[in-house]
Structure 1
Amino acid sequence: MTLSLRPITTDNYEAICDLDVTPEQEAFVACNMWSLVEATYNDGHITRGIYLNDEPVGFFMWVYESRDKVSIYRFMVDQAHQRKGIGRQAMLMALQEIQQDSNLSCIEICYNPNNPVAKDFYASFGFIEVGMDDDDEDMLAEIRL
């Protein structure tokens, strides 16, 4: 099993848009198509397809909020590929790629506080909860570099 993160291009965007989470997860995860539109029309948005060998199995999008802060906006693994360790390995790969920028001092992620899996999953990578977002809807967690 070879896992990789690849840029989203005209050759693979449709396959990334076709990925889905389970119906129970839909309330917690934005549509990949919408995320790609956001990334196309907003500066500082980086997108990556998660690939198992040559098959797209997931999606990441992170955003440069400032020169020293990146926020992971989107992260999903297709429902057919969940519970195989792909998400854990992909998150490690994304964090390694993000940390290549030596100007960063913070990586942030947010998640619905009602998502039963998110808190423990992100904490296992070193994300520490810092409170609710400005809209008081999502929990913010960060890694200080």
Structure 2
Amino acid sequence: MEDITADNYEAVCDLGLAKTQEEYLACNMSSLVEAHYNSGYTCKVINLNSTPVDFFMWVQETPTKVSIWRFMVDQTYQNKGIGRKALGMAIEQIKTTPGLCEIEICYNPSNSIAKDFYTSFGFKEVGLDEDDDDMLAIIKISS
């Protein structure tokens, strides 16, 4: 898991989703701009043989809560186990946040694949977001 720099940001922006997935996630360029102008945002890339294949953005919303806002695997590299490995790496890095009590993620409540995937990492559903659009799920961190 690496920082996004002047040397790799264009390749990160070029990562793509399948057409059927595009409506669910902001483009990476938009996410990088958002992170640049807001504090507490962290963007990371995962490379495979020096090629960017995965993008993450998480936000420290409070001193005790980090939310994963963006998580995408380029369509060419999906269904190869990269997303599972990447999310595990991201969770481990997020857990190093001092004072952290919970990690949050959200997804479309009708997406049973996402639910099963996140549940396998220990996320537990806690209900819909304030707009009643997305399911919120959290991992509680023991102190």
Q: What TM-score does the superposition give when structure 1 sets the normalisation length?
A: 0.94
- Report the count of equivalent residues: 141
Alignment match, 2:135: 139
Q: Distance in 1 between matches of 2:94 and 2:131?
A: 26
How does 1:58-73 map onto structure 2 within 5 Å?
Answer: 58-73=54-69
With 93-102 and 60-69 compared, the bigger mean Cα shift is at 93-102
Q: Which runs of 5+ in 2 are unaligned?
A: none
Question: Does structure 1 residue 53 correspond to structure 2 residue 56?
Answer: no
CA RMSD, 1 decimal: 0.8
Pick one of 94, 99, 103 that aligns with 2:95. 99
Deviation at 1:53, TM superposition (A): 2.2
Q: What TM-score does the superposition give when structure 2 sets the normalisation length?
A: 0.96
Question: Does structure 1 residue 44 correspond to structure 2 residue 47?
Answer: no
Q: Distance in 1 between matches of 2:72 and 2:110?
A: 17
Deviation at 1:114, TM superposition (A): 2.7
Moved over 4 A (4+): none
Pick one of 78, 81, 85 that aligns with 1:82. 78
Local SS of the residue matching 2:103: strand
Q: Distance in 1 between matches of 2:49 and 2:137?
A: 31
Pick one of 93, 115, 119 that aligns with 1:119. 115
Q: Distance in 2 between matches of 1:135 and 1:66?
A: 20
Deviation at 1:101, TM superposition (A): 1.8
Alignment match, 2:22: 26
Q: Which amino acid aligns with 2:51?
A: E
Deviation at 1:58, TM superposition (A): 1.1
Question: In 2, are the aligned partners of 1:28 and 1:115 still within 8 Å (CA)?
Answer: no
Q: Distance in 1 between matches of 2:48 and 2:128?
A: 34
How does 1:5-16 map onto structure 2 within 5 Å?
Answer: 5-16=1-12
Question: In 2, are the aligned partners of 1:108 and 1:143 still within 8 Å (CA)?
Answer: yes
Deviation at 1:116, TM superposition (A): 3.6
Identity rate, percent: 60
